[in-house]
Amino acid sequence: MTDPAPPYLRIADELRRRIASGELSPGDRIPSARQITRDWGVAIATAIKALAALRQDGLTAVHPGIGTVVAGSPARRPAKSPQARDTADLTRDRVVRAAIAIADTEGMAEVSMRRVATALGVATMSLYRHVPSKDDLVLFMIDAALGEEPFPATRPDGWRARLELSTRLQWRLFRRHPWLAPVMSLTRPQPAPHALNHTEWALTAFDGTDLAPEERMYVHIMLFSYARGLATALEPEAEAERETGMTSDEWMESHEREFASLGGANAVASLLQTDFDFDLDKLFEFGLARLLDGLEVLRGTPQDKRFTPSSQ
């Protein structure tokens, strides 16, 4: 007799069986949506619904850069109630680190005082002795994330090498914490000490040149805006992976026919026939080099003796 259940439920049930039997253990990768379409012969939309059903049951979780994995059993979580947990060892740093961990794995939208308290196993009100408000928590998160990689004690020679170092450092931090770029404001910068360190580094990168203070600040804002702007794509991509169980490469593969049907004898269609790799790290390096090349044009003389902006 044919199973009347929809295909996505049959796939989800089979994966549930593998998890329950121990064939798939906590931390093991679940088949991707692309793999499910191949193994079960279903449409990509059906595969996505099956993965979504497992996530809704709390059986799986999406880890950026890894994929969908079997989640740990809820029974293994501490059973002690928040009210009963000793808060003597609770510190601001522990609160902030717990919030960062949630934002890294689940997205900034999931960060709340109650959610952080649950992760720490304490009562929500106990957090306010260390973090006055949600806004303060976000500020502390920004500062802690930016402070994870300090600047070297010895600066490299030349303004270009210094700016390359600082901008790449920002990109690494944005990459590590996809929520970081969207919460940092350009027009209303948060007073985070480690953010100030980045500004100070950029302004002093031009020591030994005649670039005016306001122009140094413009250069810093330009490079920060570039890295931050590109990095704002990271959190939506991480969220899309959590929602669909598909990486960006898998998503592109699943839409190959749609993109191909749009093309004609044009440059875009030709590009789609190549092995073009839309890699954000490559894009970042390409753009950073072009921005710094543009600043090179403004230099008055070699060896960083001068840096005379164009009068035009």
CATH assignment at residue 62 = 1.10.10.10
What confidence score (pLDDT) does residue 312 get? 36
Q: Domain check: are 173 and 230 in the same one? A: yes
Which of 99-108, 117-126, 149-158, 236-245 has the least mean pLDDT? 236-245
**Mean pLDDT across 215-235:** 91
> Residue 290 belongs to what H/E stretch?
helix 280-297
15 φ/ψ angles, rounded to the nearest 5 degrees: -70, -35
Higher pLDDT, 209 or 93: 93
How far is the C-alpha of 46 from the C-alpha of 37, rounded, in Å?
A: 8
Clarify whether residues 142 and 250 are in a common domain.
no
- What average pLDDT does this structure show over 138-152? 94
Pairing assessment for the beta strands 60-63 and 67-70 based on DSSP bridges: antiparallel
pLDDT confidence of residue 88: 64
Two tokens at 202?
Answer: 């950029």
User: Is residue 138 domain-shared with residue 220, that is, in the same domain?
Assistant: no
Percent of the chain with pLDDT over 90: 35
Domain boundary among 124, 146, 168: 146
Distances (CA, A) of 107 to 20, 81, 112, 225, 235: 28, 25, 11, 22, 7
Band (6; pLDDT cuts 50, 70, 90): confident
| Residue 133 pLDDT greater than 70, yes or no | yes
> How many other CB atoms sit within 10 Å of the CB of residue 79?
8
Amino acid letter for position 14: E
Task: Work out the average pLDDT over 144-164.
Answer: 92
| Residue labelled with tokens 């990486």 | 247
Per-residue pLDDT tens digits for 261-304: 665 556 655 655 666 566 888 899 999 999 998 888 765 534 44
Phi, psi at 235, each rounded to 5° = -70, -45
**Sorting pLDDT into bands at 50, 70 and 90, what band is 110?**
confident
- 53 and 125 inside one domain: no
- CA-nearest of 77, 88, 89, 179 to 118 is 77
Determine the residue type at 251: W
Residue 44 lies in a domain: yes
**Whether the predicted pLDDT of 42 surpasses 80:** yes
Separation of CA 139 from chain center: 17
**Residue 137, burial from CB neighbour count under 10 angstroms (0-12, 13-18, 19+):** buried
Provide the domain count of the chain: 3
Per-residue pLDDT tens over the stretch 56-94: 777 887 765 566 788 864 333 444 444 445 566 899 999
Q: Quick check: is 103 in a domain? A: yes
Q: Which residue matches tokens 């079960």?
A: 40
Residue 171 and residue 307 in one domain: yes
Burial degree of 188 (CB within 10 A; 0-12, 13-18, 19+)? exposed
Domain range for 230 is 154-312
Domain membership of residue 2 (yes or no) is: no
Check pLDDT > 90 for residue 173: yes
Residue 308 has pLDDT above 60, yes or no: no
**Phi, psi torsion values for 68, nearest 5 degrees:** -85, 130
Average pLDDT over residues 122-147: 93
pLDDT value at residue 257: 65
Q: Rounded to an integer, what is the distance from CA 189 to the centroid of its chain?
A: 20
Angle, helices 44-56 vs 234-244, to 10°: value is 90
Chain mean position to CA 54: 23
If pLDDT is split at 50, 70 and 90, which confidence band does 43 have?
confident
CATH code of 137's domain: 1.10.10.60
